[in-house]
Amino acid sequence: MERQSFNEKMRKVAELLNYNWEESDAWGSHGYLVGLYGVKISVRSDDFRNRIRFSPVFPSGGEKYYFIDTKTEITVAGTKTCEQISRDVQKRFLPTYLINLQEVNGKIQEAKCYEAKKLATIKKVADYLGEEVRNNSQIFPGRIKEIYKIESESDEFVGFEVQCCTPGKAIKVIELLKQS
């Protein structure tokens, strides 16, 4: 299907679905149906088989990518009308995709909460030392020459790296840690 006619057809399908159509410059006949709440569907024309492929796109959640392993992808005949295509997408694609999207968004929210708790944990130590947190999880305390770095290990624990100290100081730290 010619790129221009593909984009016109997908604009109409998007309108029927109450989504927006975003053309892609990356490939020939390709673009995205975009809706509320992170809905994004990759749409590509397969000219060789005269099919249109709908594939899920999930939000990344920052540096981490979440993927739900399901058979969400569908294809429809390129000869179908816009109304037929929108019905196929609503019936065959969206139910599974929306459930998976909700699951991915839940995982992203859990990860954000966990990262916020980790930051709060390291921030307690930073505030005590009068230092700043770097890279959301590390403190490099300049006033304590024996400690190179203090780092958030989880939402409850920090770890620290001692560069070099006297045996007496090492024993004091060990004794303190043995008390807990």
DSSP H or E segment with residue 3: helix 3-17
| Residue 137 token pair | 């999880």
Asked whether the predicted pLDDT for residue 65 surpasses 60, the reply is no
Give the residue with greater pLDDT, 170 vs 13. 13
Using DSSP, state whether 150 is helix, strand or coil: strand
Measure the CA–CA gap between 147 and 164, rounded to whole angstroms: 8
Taking the domains of the chain in order of start, what are their residue ranges? 3-112, 130-179
Q: Quick count: other Cβ atoms within 10 Å of Cβ 15?
A: 13
**Which residues are within 8 A (CB) of 122 and not within 5 positions of it... i.e. 6 or more apart?**
133, 137, 138, 139, 150, 151, 152, 158
Whole-number average pLDDT of the chain? 88
Say how far apart CA 96 and CA 94 lie, in whole Å. 6
What is the predicted pLDDT for the residue at 69? 59
Q: Kindly report the pTM of this predicted structure.
A: 0.74
